[in-house]
Amino acid sequence: MKQFEYVKKEDLFPKNYTLEDLDFAKTKILKYIAFKKRTENEIRLKFSKVIEEELLNDAIEELKENGYIDDNNYIKRAVNEFMALKNLSIKEIKYKLMSKGLSKNLIDDYISNNLDTLIDYEIQSAKNIAIKKSNLEKEDIKNYLVKKGYRTESIENAMEECQMWGSIWHRERMQNAKRIYTRNKQIQN
């Protein structure tokens, strides 16, 4: 029969803090991320002055293991939100994610794995902007898109589609005007 030795709590948990401290730190962090998903960097910035570094590192690691903190998931959700609500270039998306303290490698991996979808989104965004700014000259619209970080290919595709769409719209307007003119002329006769 195997004998069990008595092991002290301090031997199992040789840290400069107690389990209660760890639970308290995790609870504070969970309350912070329950309101809105946060990156690991945002959490570190928020709690670096309030929670001791070793305790904060351990709390974050445990929450990462349990899936509460996941920068890859954050990137995916943030990009989906950008795509649903805003008109951005891929470069603007990258800068927004980097401003949250996310790793450049994580962002680049996400972009390369989803490049086709992001390019389609960028072209659609460029079209939306071109339509909104249709009162400007074509070159001014292109310059604006370049300043916003749109790729040249995306700008060209968007402008081509807008021009094609604009000529169809113009042709339909002219046909409608002719019909109205013809109908009015018939009524007068």
What is the structure's pLDDT at 12?
Answer: 46
CB 140 within 8 A of CB 82: no
What is the structure's pLDDT at 68?
Answer: 94
CB 126 within 8 A of CB 155: yes
DSSP letter, residue 18: -
Q: How confident is the model over 8-17, as a mean pLDDT?
A: 56
CB 40 within 8 A of CB 69: yes
Confidence of residue 86 (pLDDT cuts 50, 70, 90): very high
What is the structure's pLDDT at 3?
Answer: 59
Q: How confident is the model over 138-166, as a mean pLDDT?
A: 86
pLDDT, one tens digit per residue, over 98-137 is 999 999 999 999 999 999 999 999 999 999 998 888 778 8
pLDDT, one tens digit per residue, over 26-82 is 999 999 999 889 999 999 999 999 899 999 999 999 999 999 999 999 999 999 999
- Environment class of 90 (CB within 10 Å of its CB; exposed 0-12, middle 13-18, buried 19+): buried
- Environment class of 124 (CB within 10 Å of its CB; exposed 0-12, middle 13-18, buried 19+): middle
Q: How confident is the model over 151-174, as a mean pLDDT?
A: 71
CB 121 within 8 A of CB 83: yes
Q: How many residues does the chain have?
A: 189
Helix, strand and coil percent figures for the chain, each rounded to 5: 75, 0, 25
3-state DSSP call for residue 24? Answer: helix
What is the distance between the alpha carbons of residues 39 and 8, in angstroms, rounded to a whole number?
Answer: 36
Buried b (16+ CB within 10 A) or exposed e, 92-105: bbbebbeebebbee
Joined together, the tokens standing for residue 127 give 């079209």
Q: Compare 176 and 59 and report the one with higher pLDDT.
A: 59
What is the structure's pLDDT at 181?
Answer: 66
What is the structure's pLDDT at 75?
Answer: 96
What is the structure's pLDDT at 2?
Answer: 52
Who's near 30: CB < 8 A, 6+ residues apart? Answer: 63, 68
